Amino acid sequence: MSAALQNIINQPYKHGFVSDIESDVAAKGLDESTIRMISAKRNEPEWLLDFRLQSYAAWLKMTEPTWQNAHHPKIDFQAISYYSAPKQKPKLKSMDEVDPELLRTFEKLGVPLHERMAMAGVAVDVIFDSVSVATTYKEKLAEVGVIFCSFSEAVKDHPELVKKYLGTVIPTSDNYYAALNSAVFTDGSFCFIPKGVKCPMDLSTYFRINTEESGQFERTLIVAEEGASVSYLEGCTAPAFSSNQLHAAVVELVALDNADIKYSTVQNWYAGDENGVGGVYNFVTKRGLAQGVNSRISWTQVETGSAITWKYPSVVLLGDNAVGEFYSVALTNHYQQADTGTKMIHIGKNTRSTIVSKGISAGKSNNSYRGLVKIAPSASGARNYSQCDSMLIGQESGAHTFPYINVRNNTAKVEHEASTSKIGEDQMFYFAQRGIDAEAAVSMIINGFCKDVFQQLPLEFAVEATNLLSFKLEGSVG
């Protein structure tokens, strides 16, 4: 690989600063008393403490999974602090009241939080370490009956809704990290779109890990009632630390009859340095339940960060005619490892799912697509189309595809296509011979490769994702 190409893909991480915000950090370690402490700090009701304790009991009986195509030293769960909250006024009415240092942080992040998001009319919830610090546009949303708030507020103000749906899509004992999250989660976002309401604006949550030895375990729950629809955006960053931080989030989506949930993520957690030191372990469980007839759940993700990403946003297609979609771009560089994909579980009749996965591996990184398409005996007329494309940059990166297909109904139709390509020296030379420098060439090739996914993102996010990929891949050439 030429030096130019090498340079382009070796960009430093621009979000690698620590915000100087005073935090209230719990002592490291995890036992029952930690969980009681978290619950008490948050003034939680008894039922939620019980939910946590049950999850913890389940977690203790489980073992860490090792089947994913990603390798890391054993995590010491006692060396993690399970609670870190910025020390500041607990309640904020508007963004103007947010700690100025926090706002500066977001400016450094290039997060268009304060003005641009407002101008774009996006409602934002900001989660710093584990605690939600600000939610915008709440009143405006409330007028149409949309609830958009931090998870803690939801527990306080809408306990019946939280209780009704929490853990219904991802049971506490679903997997090791989901169980851990269910035991120790500290905050997250809650979003409820009542019957017949089209959410008037995109909803967005911005996550940031800021403390070196704290884990981040946020919990997101989105419910769209009959005929409701919402587009939800999630972004995240973390500062550069030489140690690894654990991020084990759980996201549950519920779509009732004719409801439509579109969930978009741009993930840019710190990926570690060029030697593979530091970085976030991103072990996330995301699942949507397309419960109602004609319901639709669509996941779009652009995964560029984290030392290790291990996540499979999935859809359980329960209602007849339900639709599940998964559009993914995963970019890995240096020593990053990504094992990501989806599960489409077809149960209802005439359910349809589409999977489009684009993996880009550069440096010495490893990028795996792992996907399951399961057609239950009840899912007559179900259809799936999967397309998994990999692009390799350089000689030392790896791309792998693990499709699992399990069809139990002979009226179902499942199609799978896969391809692997490379950005070759001769392609780069072709661009150069036409006057186009290496940076512009790589970004054009990558954007072309990711086009099918980017066009699924809301415009604001598509621009951010395009820039982010270019940024990750561009550099000082020549």
Partner 1 sequence: MIYPNSKTILEVRNLCASVSGTPILKNMNFTVKSGEVHAIMGPNGSGKSTFSKVLAGHSDYEITGGTVLFEGKDLLELAPEERARAGLFLAFQYPIEIPGVGNSQFLRLTYNTVQSHRGNEELDPLEFDDFVRDKMKLLEMREDFLDRSVNAGFSGGEKKRNEILQMALLEPRLAILDETDSGLDIDALRIVSKGVNHLANKDNAIVLVTHYQRLLDYIVPDFVHVMEAGRIIKSGGKELAVELETRGYDWVSDEYKAASRVAA
Q: Give the residues lining the site for partner 1 (CB under 8 A).
A: 2, 421, 424-427, 429-437, 440, 444-445, 448-449, 451, 478
Taking the C-alpha atoms of 170, 174, 177 and 181 in order, what is their torsion angle to the nearest 10 degrees? 40
Shortest distance in whole angstroms from residue 421 CB to partner 1: 7
Q: Is 27 exposed, middle or buried (0-12, 13-18, 19+ CB in 10 A)?
A: exposed
Give the dihedral of Cα atoms 373, 374, 379, 382; nearest 10 deg.
10
Backbone angles phi, psi at 6, to 5 degrees: -60, -45
Least distance (Å) from partner 1 to the CB of residue 443? 10
Pick between residue 253 and residue 473 the one whose CB is nearest to partner 1. 473
Closest CB to partner 1 among residues 142, 432: 432
Tokens found for residue 129:
């370490």
Please report how close the Cβ of residue 3 comes to partner 1 at its closest, in angstroms. 9
* Least gap, CB of 473 to partner 1 (angstroms): 15
Closer residue to partner 1, CB minimum distance, 436 or 459? 436
Whose Cβ is closer to partner 1: residue 90's or residue 435's?
435
CB-wise, 2 or 168, nearer to partner 1?
2
Would you say 44 or 439 has its CB closer to partner 1? 439
Q: 3-class SS at 458?
A: coil
CB of 387 to partner 1, least distance (A): 13
Listed in sequence order, the residues at least 6 apart from 429 whose beta carbon sits closer than 8 Å to its beta carbon are none
Sign of the dihedral through C-alpha 91, 96, 101, 102: positive
Query: Taking a C-beta distance cutoff of 8 angstroms, is the pair 335, 341 a contact?
Result: no
Minimum Å gap between C-beta 342 and partner 1 is 22
Beta-strand ranges (E) seen in 225-259 are 229-237, 244-247, 250-255
Q: Name the phi and psi angles at 133, rounded to 5.
A: -105, -20
CB of 433 to partner 1, least distance (A): 5
Question: What is the sign, positive or negative, of the torsion defined by CA atoms of 23, 27, 30, 32?
Answer: negative
DSSP secondary structure letters along 380-449: TT-EEEEEEEEEE-SSS-EEEEEEEEEE--TT-EEEEEEEEEE--HHHHHHHHHTT--HHHHHHHHHHHH
- Give the integer Cα–Cα distance in Å for 167 and 377: 26
- To the nearest whole angstrom, how small is the minimum distance from the Cβ of residue 5 to partner 1? 10
Question: Tokens 């009704």 map to which residue?
Answer: 164
**In DSSP terms, which residues pair with 210 in a beta bridge?**
none
Closest C-alpha among 288, 287, 36, 59 to residue 172: 59
By C-beta, is 187 or 389 nearer to partner 1?
389
Q: Please say which residue, 78 or 420, places its beta carbon nearer to partner 1.
A: 420
Question: Contact, 20 vs 7, CB < 8 A?
Answer: no
Query: How far apart are alpha carbons 34 and 26 in whole angstroms?
Result: 9
Nearer to partner 1, 43 or 395 (CB): 395
Cβ–Cβ < 8 Å for 370, 330: no
| Cβ at position 452, least distance to partner 1 in Å | 9
For residue 145 the two structure tokens come to 């009956």
Q: Closer to partner 1 at the Cβ: 58 or 392?
A: 392
Smallest separation (angstroms) from partner 1 to the CB of 477: 9
Nearer to partner 1 (CB atom), residue 153 or residue 439:
439
Shortest distance in whole angstroms from residue 460 CB to partner 1: 21
Find residue 381's DSSP bridge partners.
Answer: none
Q: Measuring CA to CA, how many Å separate 334 from each of 109, 255, 274?
A: 22, 39, 5
